[in-house]
Amino acid sequence: MRINKIKYKKAAIVLGGGIKITKDPEHKRVYEPENQVKDRLGKALQLYLDGQVGFIITTGNYSKRVGIDSSVIGPKNEAEVGKEYLLQNFVTNSKTIKNQFAAKILFEKKSLDTIGNAWFSKQECLIPNNIKECIIITSDFHLERSKLCFDWVLGPEYKIDYIGLDSDLKDNPERRKVEDVFSRFMREQLINSISAGDDEQIGKFMKTEHLVYCMSERSEAQFNACMETASITAGY
């Protein structure tokens, strides 16, 4: 296993895309990333091993519409399941090197959509660690959405690159319609009204207007209704 010798702060941010139940070597039920997310995590790990990034950030809570199985052992959100997957695939006989790698995996486990991926990655990982450069890793069908969200949330102070991995959904007409609607929403409702990188105003939007996140005082039924209304901003 090569050791990362990177000298500057740059992070690969892996966007979540679902978790599924599997069985570990002891036949216990655990969560693992969906296949598309395994590809994203694998790309991030390769960038780390090649010395192109010094940190990996995993993202995401879990889909509230799908729910979570409380009987499953281990991590139950996308971010921590992603971190566990990275550690399992980082092969070394050195406990010291393994621990060093683990310390370079940051995560945010609050996000429920792509805007949230960007916001919570910035607030909980990038700012606290003074990281100003990042590579966003997602799938090709999700690339435009990711760029709109991260360019807007992070703003001009950040240098951002993007990687969209091949998928079967890139040319899917139904998916294309969803992405087109989302793009119009971002440009007309958010980008044109709140400056890119304005943490105060974006934070206010997240707390008071983004239906997915201003749910703390609402019932489960109200939450589910809002999730349907807010589906334009949901999805991976």
Its CATH class, for the domain covering 11-233, is alpha beta
Residue 39's pLDDT is what? Answer: 98
Q: Is residue 122 a contact partner of residue 106, using CB atoms and an 8 Å limit? A: no
Span 101-115, average pLDDT: 97
- What is the rounded average pLDDT of the residues 54-60? 98
DSSP for 76-108, written as a single string: -SHHHHHHHHHHHH---S-HHHHHHHHHTEEEE
What is the model's pLDDT at position 85? 98
Question: How buried is 96 (Cβ within 10 angstroms: 0-12 exposed, 13-18 middle, 19+ buried)?
Answer: exposed
The yes-or-no verdict on residue 224 having pLDDT over 60 is no
| Whether the predicted pLDDT of 230 surpasses 60 | no
pLDDT(219) > 80: no
Contact between residue 160 and residue 154 where contact means Cβ atoms under 8 Å apart: yes
Report pTM. 0.89
What's the one-letter identity of residue 151? D
Q: What would the 3-class secondary structure string for 107-169 be?
A: EECCCCCHHHHHHHHHHHHHCCCCCCEEEEEEEHHHHHHHHHHHHHHHCCCCEEEEEEECCCC
Mean confidence (pLDDT) of the chain: 90
What is the DSSP secondary structure assignment for residue 14, as one 8-state letter? E
* Predicted local distance difference test score (pLDDT) of residue 97: 96
| DSSP H/E element including 48 | helix 35-49
Among 16-20, 59-63, 108-112, whose mean pLDDT is lowest?
59-63
| pLDDT-derived band at 226, boundaries 50, 70, 90 | low
Across residues 122-148, what is the average pLDDT? 98
Give the model's pLDDT for residue 236. Answer: 38
What residue ranges do the domains of the chain occupy?
A: 11-233
